[in-house]
Structure 1
């Protein structure tokens, strides 16, 4: 017996018996209408990241693509799945916002800091060249007193900012932004704290999304 498959089947059964019945109208509506997501979220393949849960989105609300390190190759350098998703989301689905979402404790960022650990992962090593400039910036901003955790946090932020720069090189994105039909932002999700910090309007600072008082 495949224990992992059985665990997945158990999850499907729970979805069918508990989750689906309570949300049947939402799923039926989603299946009967063309998708119209309002945002594209480019995030990491890390299994601890759940964009729908973090944003409390319903089926059809967000278009999501995931890869190691939440990277967006500059247009023309590595045309492939990520580029196709961006083009489709912006030009066909007409999303109004694109998010690049990094996260704490990112294995890809750790790999950049310790490339010796990537020797047996040549494909990953090649893919992470799309974040090399972020490593250079993080190293240039680091001080001798910085801890490894400080450097990792800085690199994670710089990587998100770099990928936003790459995102702007995609023709579909550049055109939509010029027409003021699209905005973009960079996020860093802290897994342990449940906190999301956002860089918007072209700024470098990542500002936490505050929790509003229930009395308001």
Structure 2
């Protein structure tokens, strides 16, 4: 905790004064344009990767960047999605997986979850990705895990579209969905292209979008 407290003190004394106007403007309102759903992994920091200041992103983080399909008993993720889309009127949703994801590695290698039953139950929301991934043949275990990370992003893009608020926003053409995979070692991002159903370099295809063409908002 010592390092965390020291970090806060440095922020309060050195960083906050520089951005005081920004925080004053954020004191009573927020207007993020993007809902960013990522893994809880400490190596992926959405604001750092996208170079956004406080107030720029509405962030949901959990094991495996998972979005449960909408159901009769919505949980915290569902409530946050609904708030972002309906109340904050975000225009974009990014679901971002990453390399060396422990959750996806556990699924791809059929790791025993007996000692972590809550984690095992949570990862069931990635079952559709698991089934697709298991049906393929891979040259190595690493390739199997990398594929699982991508398939999970695709599965969560499908899950989020079962949420009424998201479905309405898509129908009205005011929301676009994006699926990304961040590579920790290289800093590269691959984005899911809904038109070709493949992942492409975001740096080379900055306009790529996962949303079907008929729902995509103008960029």
* Map of 2:40 onto structure 1: 45
Correspondence list, 1:146-165, <5 A: 146-165=139-158
Q: Output one character per residue of 1:104-138: Cα deviation in whole Å (capped at 9) or x when no partner.
A: 00000111123343110001001101111111111
**Among 51, 71, 79, which residue is 2:74 paired with?**
79
Separation in structure 1 between the aligned mates of residue 76 and residue 60 of structure 2, nearest angstrom: 9
Matched, 1:20 2:13: no
Pair 1:86–1:15, CA change in 2 (3 A): same
CA offset digits 1:135-175 (Å, max 9, x no partner): 111122324xx111111110100000000000100000000
CA contact (8 A) 1:184 1:200 kept: no
Q: Work out whether 1:29 is the aligned partner of 2:1.
A: no
Q: CA RMSD in A?
A: 1.7
Structure having the higher helix fraction is 1
SS at the partner of 1:99? Answer: strand
Number of residue-to-residue matches in the alignment: 205
Task: Confirm or deny that 1:136 pairs with 2:131.
Answer: yes
Give the deviation of 1:201 after TM superposition.
Answer: 3.7
Please list every run of 5 or more consecutive structure 1 residues that lacks an aligned counterpart in the other structure: none
Please report the TM-score for the alignment, with normalisation by the length of structure 2: 0.89
What are structure 2's unaligned runs of at least 5 residues? 206-219
1:16 and 1:207 mapped to 2: Cα distance?
Answer: 41
